[in-house]
C-alpha cells in the first residue's frame, strides 16, 4: 500500500529540491527504466517546453507508480489489428479470445500468472494464462462487445494450478478508437479473503442462531432503551407468552425488584462493567412470578445492545426455601423438646423424693393408728405431710403433661422415607463432604406409627453424634455412617440402626450416656441422647447402643408397627 503513495510524494519532493537542474526530473523515471536518462537533452531548451515535458513525465510517473505498485492485478489486452466495432458482437468476442495478447501488465499480474516480472508476461496470448482467462473467458468479451466496451464489473472464481480457488472481482473496459476498439483494460481485485470471511461470518451466524434457538435458557436482545428486540423460544416459555407479545416490551416492566435499588442503577453500572450475573424475579405474562438466574452483557456497538440470558430457578428456590423452613421448624421443635426434656427430667428427679415422702408419711400415719395413737393433732399433721407432698407431685405432673403436649403428631408413616429425607436435608452426601452415608433400608416392614418430626429429630441427634465421633479422626478411608432399617427381633416393631466408624464408646461412659446432662463433647449440653431416648420411649420403643463389628458405636431404636399391619 505504501508504494503508490510514497512514490509520487517522494519524487515530487525531489523535483522541488532540484528544480534548478534540467536533468533532475528524469532521474526517478530513469531509475525505473521508463525513459532514457538523457532524453531531455534532445529537446529544444525552451522553458515552457521543459515545464510541459516535466509535467508530462511527472504525470506519467504518477500513473505508472499507481499501476506498478498496485495490489490489484492490472493488465491490458490488445489484438494485432484493432477490432472493428461494426463486426457482430460474437465475432468481436471470438477475435479477442483468439488474437488477444497481453500488451501491458503490472507485477501484481505477473505474480498472479506465475511469472517473475511484468516484462516476461508481455506478449503472452490469452490461452497461455491459466485459470479463468485461459479457459475462454466465458461471456466476458460478449458482454463487453454488447455494451460497447463500457466498464464491466464481475465476480469470478478462478481455479489455481495447486487446487485452491481464488475469488476475484474483475473490472473490464475497452479503449475505443474512431471505428475500432484498441485494447481492453482489466483490473482484478482479489477478494478471496473477503469471501471466505463472509462465509465464516455466515456460518458463525447460523451456528449462533441454532444455539440460541435450541438453548434451554431464555435469551433476548434489548436495545439501549431496554426494549426487547428479539427472543428465543425458551424465553417465550419462560415468560409464558407468545413472541409477538414479548417483542417491544420494556424489560423494566418484567423485572421485579426486591430491594430499594433501581434498575436504572444496574443499567448504568452495566454500561461500564459490560457484564452482570445475578438472581432476579420476573413478572411473567401469564401472571406467574418466576425466579431466574440472570446473565446480562452489554455491547456498546450498534447503538448499545443488551444480551440477556435467563434460567428458570423457581423450582430450585422453592426447594431450598422448603428445606430452610423445615430446618427452622426442626430447630424450633428441638428447642421446645429440649425444654420439655428439662422439665421432664426435673419432674422425674423431684417425683422420686416426693413419692418417698408420701410413702414415709403414710407409713408413719398407719403405724401410729395401728398402735392406737389418739393424738389427733399429730395424726392430722402427718396426714398433711403426705397430702402436701402428693399435691406437689400433682403440680409437677401437670407441668410435665404440658411439656409433653406435642404427641398429637403420631401417624402412620414410612420409616424409610423419614430416614431418606433426614439424610437429604442434613446434606450428608453433598459435595465437599468427606462423609460417606450408606443406606441399607429394608422395604418391609416400612410403615411405623410415629410422629415423623420427632423421629427425624432422633435421627438428626444420632447422626450428628456419629459425625462428631468421627470428626478429627485420620482414617485411611473416608468416615462412614451406615443407616439400616429392618424388622426388630421384638414382634410388632421395626428397628433402625445408626452405625459409625468412630472409636466407639468408653465402657465407663456406657451406663451414663442416656442420663440428662451427661456429655463427652466439649460444648455439648448432654441432652441429645436423653431426649432421643425419651422420644423413642414415648412411642413405645426402645433406644440402646451396641458396638459395631469395626469398633464404632451402633445406636439402635425401635418403633411400633401400626396395628393393621400386625393383623395383616
Partner 1 sequence: MTPERPTVFVVDDDPAMRDSLAFLIGTVGLHVEHYASAEEFLAAYDSRVPGCIVLDVRMPGLSGLELMEHLQRDRFAPPVVLITGHGDIPMSVRALKAGAFDFIEKPFSDQELLERIQQALQHDEGSRRAAYTRTEIERRQRRLTPRENQVFEAVVAGKANKVIADELSLSQKTVEVHRAHVMEKMRAESFADLVKMAVVLDATGPPQSIE
| Nearest partner of 339 among 541, 116, 525, 183, judged by Cα | 525
Q: Which is nearer to partner 1, 237 or 384 (CB)?
A: 384
Determine the Cα–Cα distance for residues 300 and 25; give it in Å rounded to an integer. Answer: 53
Choice between 76 and 354, CB closer to partner 1: 354
In whole angstroms, what is the distance from residue 347 CA to residue 452 CA?
26
Instruction: Output the smallest distance, CB 390 to partner 1, in A.
Output: 6
480-487/436-441 β-pairing: parallel
Taking CA atoms, 137 is separated from 143, 156, 246, in Å, by: 11, 10, 54
| Residue with cell string 435421627 | 459
CB of 351 to partner 1, least distance (A): 6
Contact criterion met (CB below 8 Å) for 383 and 418 = no
Cβ nearer to partner 1, comparing 82 with 492: 492
Cα 373 from Cα 565, distance rounded (Å):
60
Q: Which residue has the cell 517522494?
A: 10
Unique residue bearing C-alpha cell 445475578:
278
**Nearer residue to partner 1 within complex by CB, 92 or 530:** 530
Shortest reach from residue 366's CB to partner 1, in Å: 4
- What's the burial of 439, exposed, middle or buried (CB within 10 Å: 0-12/13-18/19+)? middle
C-beta of 281: minimal distance to partner 1 in Å?
49
How far is CA 405 from its chain centroid?
A: 50
Q: How far apart are CA 218 and CA 237, in angstroms?
A: 8
Residue closer to partner 1 by CB (options 240, 540) is 540
Q: Residue 221 or residue 357: which is nearer to partner 1 going by CB? A: 357
Please give the torsion angle defined by the CA atoms of residues 107, 111, 114 and 116, in that order, rounded to the nearest 10 degrees.
50
Q: Is 523 helix (H, G, I), strand (E, B) or coil?
A: coil
Smallest distance from partner 1 to CB 323, Å:
32
Query: Taking each helix axis from N to C terminus, what angle separates 314-370 and 376-403, rounded to the nearest 10 degrees?
Result: 170
Cβ-based nearer residue to partner 1, 7 or 560 = 560
C-beta of 411: minimal distance to partner 1 in Å? 15
Minimum CB distance to partner 1, residue 488 (Å): 13
Toward partner 1, which CB reaches closer, 311 or 520?
520
Cβ 412 to partner 1 shortest distance, Å: 16
Looking at residue 479, what DSSP letter applies? P
When the beta carbons of 296 and 396 are compared against partner 1, the nearer one is 396
Helix/strand/coil (H/E/C) assignment for every residue in 109-157: HHHHCCCCCHHHHCCCEHHHCCHHHHCCCCCHHHHHHHCCCCCEEEEEE
Asked if omega into 263 is within 30° of 0 (cis), the reply is no
DSSP conformational letter for 16:
H
The secondary structure element, H or E, covering residue 314 is helix 314-370
Q: How far is the CB of 461 from partner 1 (least distance, A)?
A: 20
Residue 240 or 562: the one with the smaller Cβ distance to partner 1 is 562
DSSP conformational letter for 514: T
Q: What are phi and psi of 168, to 5 degrees?
A: -125, 145
Least spacing, CB of residue 279 vs partner 1, in Å: 49
Residue nearer to partner 1 on the CB measure, 45 or 489:
489
Tell me how far, at minimum, the Cβ of 380 lies from partner 1, in Å.
16
Number of CB atoms found within 10 A of residue 489's CB: 8
Burial class (CB in 10 A: 0-12, 13-18, 19+), 564: exposed
**From the CB of 288, what's the least distance to partner 1, in Å?**
48
Q: Which is nearer to partner 1, 174 or 393 (CB)?
A: 393
- Residue ranges binding partner 1 (CB under 8 A): 344, 348, 351-360, 362-363, 366-367, 370, 386, 390, 393-394, 397, 400, 511, 537-540, 560
Amino acid at each position: 500500500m505504501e508504494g503508490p503513495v510514497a512514490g509520487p510524494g517522494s519524487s515530487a519532493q525531489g523535483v522541488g529540491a532540484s528544480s534548478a537542474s534540467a536533468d533532475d526530473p528524469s532521474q526517478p523515471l530513469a531509475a525505473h527504466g521508463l525513459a532514457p536518462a538523457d532524453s531531455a537533452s534532445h529537446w529544444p531548451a525552451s522553458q515552457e517546453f521543459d515545464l510541459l515535458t516535466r509535467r508530462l513525465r511527472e504525470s506519467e510517473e504518477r500513473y505508472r507508480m499507481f499501476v506498478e505498485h498496485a495490489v490489484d492485478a492490472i493488465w491490458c489486452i490488445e489484438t494485432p489489428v484493432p477490432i472493428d466495432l461494426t463486426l457482430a458482437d460474437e465475432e468481436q468476442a471470438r477475435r479477442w479470445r483468439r488474437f488477444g495478447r497481453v500488451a501491458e501488465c503490472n507485477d501484481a499480474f505477473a505474480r498472479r500468472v506465475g511469472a517473475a516480472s511484468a516484462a516476461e508476461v508481455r506478449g503472452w496470448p490469452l490461452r497461455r494464462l491459466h485459470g479463468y482467462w485461459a479457459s475462454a473467458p466465458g461471456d466476458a468479451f460478449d458482454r463487453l462487445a454488447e455494451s460497447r466496451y463500457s466498464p464491466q464489473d464481475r465476480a469470478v472464481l478462478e481455479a489455481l494450478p495447486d487446487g485452491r480457488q481464488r475469488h476475484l472481482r474483475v473490472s473490464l473496459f475497452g479503449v475505443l478508437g474512431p471505428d475500432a476498439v484498441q485494447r481492453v483494460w482489466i483490473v482484478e481485485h482479489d477478494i478471496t479473503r473477503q469471501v471466505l470471511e463472509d462465509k465464516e461470518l455466515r456460518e458463525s451466524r447460523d451456528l449462533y442462531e441454532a444455539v440460541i434457538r435450541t438453548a434451554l435458557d431464555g435469551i433476548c436482545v434489548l436495545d439501549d432503551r431496554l426494549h426487547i428486540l428479539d427472543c428465543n423460544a425458551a424465553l417465550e416459555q419462560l415468560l409464558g407468552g407468545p413472541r409477538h407479545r414479548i417483542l417491544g416490551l420494556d424489560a423494566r416492566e418484567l423485572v421485579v425488584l426486591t430491594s430499594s435499588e433501581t434498575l436504572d442503577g444496574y443499567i448504568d453500572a452495566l454500561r461500564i462493567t459490560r457484564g452482570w450475573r445475578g438472581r432476579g424475579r420476573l413478572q411473567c405474562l401469564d401472571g406467574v412470578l418466576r425466579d431466574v438466574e440472570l446473565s446480562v452483557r452489554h455491547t456498546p456497538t450498534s447503538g448499545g445492545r443488551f444480551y440477556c440470558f435467563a434460567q428458570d430457578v423457581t423450582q430450585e428456590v422453592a426447594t431450598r426455601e422448603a428445606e430452610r423452613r423445615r430446618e427452622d421448624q426442626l430447630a424450633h421443635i428441638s428447642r421446645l423438646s429440649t425444654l420439655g426434656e428439662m422439665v421432664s427430667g426435673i419432674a422425674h428427679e423431684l417425683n422420686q423424693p416426693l413419692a418417698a415422702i408420701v410413702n414415709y408419711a403414710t407409713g408413719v400415719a398407719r403405724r401410729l393408728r395401728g398402735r392406737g395413737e389418739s393424738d389427733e393433732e399429730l395424726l392430722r399433721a402427718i396426714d398433711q405431710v403426705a397430702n402436701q407432698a402428693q399435691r406437689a407431685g400433682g403440680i409437677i405432673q401437670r407441668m410435665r403433661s404440658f411439656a409433653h403436649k406435642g404427641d398429637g403428631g403420631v401417624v402412620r408413616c414410612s420409616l424409610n422415607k423419614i430416614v431418606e429425607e433426614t439424610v437429604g436435608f442434613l446434606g450428608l452426601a453433598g459435595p465437599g463432604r468427606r462423609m460417606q452415608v450408606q443406606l441399607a433400608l429394608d422395604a418391609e416392614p416400612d410403615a411405623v406409627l410415629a410422629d415423623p418430626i420427632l423421629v427425624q429429630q432422633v435421627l438428626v441427634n444420632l447422626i450428628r453424634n456419629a459425625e462428631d465421633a468421627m470428626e478429627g479422626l485420620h482414617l485411611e478411608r473416608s468416615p462412614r455412617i451406615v443407616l439400616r432399617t429392618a424388622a426388630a427381633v421384638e414382634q410388632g416393631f421395626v428397628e433402625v440402626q445408626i452405625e459409625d466408624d468412630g472409636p466407639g464408646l468408653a465402657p465407663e461412659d456406657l451406663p451414663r450416656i442416656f442420663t440428662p446432662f451427661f456429655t463427652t463433647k466439649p460444648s455439648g449440653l448432654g441432652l441429645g441422647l436423653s431426649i432421643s431416648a425419651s422420644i423413642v420411649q414415648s412411642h413405645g420403643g426402645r433406644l440402646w447402643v451396641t458396638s459395631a463389628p469395626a469398633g464404632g458405636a451402633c445406636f439402635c431404636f425401635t418403633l411400633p408397627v401400626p396395628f393393621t399391619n400386625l393383623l395383616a
